[in-house]
Amino acid sequence: MEFNKEKEVSYWDSFYSNSDQKNLIPSQFAVFAISEMNDHSITFVVECGAGNGRDSFFFCSHWKTVLSLDRSSQAVENISKTADFIGMERSALHRKLKSLGIKGIN
């Protein structure tokens, strides 16, 4: 079975265009991560594969700066709209991962 990047991106864009942004309960992993990270002087968090942003919004309650990345432009757009709706200051940027120039990302 061959991996098809275009189909994957299309799938996730379609998934997030039909997703309910009301369920922003953080994942168990995010809650665990907070308990581990609070003991350190962390000033910002980068979430890769942010999806609907539920963990990003949770992290924002602990740190001022959270960078949410997702390959799906629809997911990033949804996070931006939710941030606007709840009155959260934000800066949205969607960029294809390949354009970041990270070795090993095609």
User: Quick one: tokens of 51?
Assistant: 């999806």
Residue 103: its pLDDT value, please?
58
Residue 28: its pLDDT value, please?
95
CB proximity list for 57: less than 8 A, separation 6 or greater: 24, 26, 82, 83, 86, 88
Does pLDDT of 106 surpass 80? no
Tell me, what amino acid is at 100?
L
Residue 105: its pLDDT value, please?
53
pLDDT band of 91, cuts 50, 70, 90: low
Q: For residue range 31-76, what is the model confidence (pLDDT) as tens digits? A: 999 888 876 788 888 888 999 899 999 998 888 788 888 888 888 8
User: Quick one: tokens of 71?
Assistant: 């390959």
Q: Record the pTM.
A: 0.76
CB proximity list for 71: less than 8 A, separation 6 or greater: 8, 9, 12, 49, 96, 97
